[in-house]
Amino acid sequence: MSETALMLVIHEVMRRNRVRDGIVYLQMSRGAASRDHVFPPPSVNPTMVITAKNLDRAAIAKRAELGVKVISVPETRWARRDIKSVNLLPNVLARQAAKEAGAFEAWFLDEHGFITEGASSTAFIVDAEGRIRTRGLSHDLLHGVTRAALLRLARECQMVVSETPFTLEEAKAAREAFISAASNPAVPVTAIDGAKIGKGWPGPVTRALRVAYLGA
């Protein structure tokens, strides 16, 4: 369908679900076909599912004010994590492990001891030199649009940005840490694996970046 028609459908989904302040999610597939391990013919029509839901603004505000806890888990995902797909079993298991540990998010730790990203978010730290660090784009992580927006805003605000990987030890020793996702921009991380980050509460860089993002 055309972009105009798609926007009409999105607004209708929002209306029917009474969404005023929330999120719309689009999920695409190649189309319905017989089960097989090869692609169906080009004549198959793509399938699109659109959902919309209201977000809990109070919960989002509380996470921003108090910060969240994170745990680390071994990286168990496939080698093309830059592809946005529905193959999310490792991510689901990681988030469940975080919930059972009393944390909000899980950060994947690769075989070299570096953090890749969160189960459903991008991982950032503010290191000892005051630089905002996050792993550079590659096949190792999802190229999140919120990540890109935050980095652009950080540079516009004259913050120093370094797209370099960081270890779990560097994260625990950081001045600040935070996560980003479509519904959770610049959420402070106050503890990783039980280790307090900085002074144990949201830091000034994360707060400033969140204000810049929400005001953009």
Reading the block at residue 131, the tokens are 């630089």
Which amino acid belongs to residue 15?
R
In angstroms, the CA 72 to CA 195 distance is 11
- CA 159, 169, 188, 90 dihedral sign is positive
- DSSP E strands in 2-67: the ranges are 22-29, 47-54
Which member of 84, 99, 196, 199 is catalytic?
A: 84
Residue 172 falls in the annotated catalytic set: no
Q: What is the dihedral of CA 136, 140, 144, 150, to 10 degrees?
A: -20
Beta carbons of 64 and 202 less than 8 angstroms apart: yes
Q: Which of 139, 138, 137, 140 is nearest to 151 (CA)?
A: 137
- Can you give the length of the chain in residues? 216
Q: Give catalytic residue positions.
A: 84
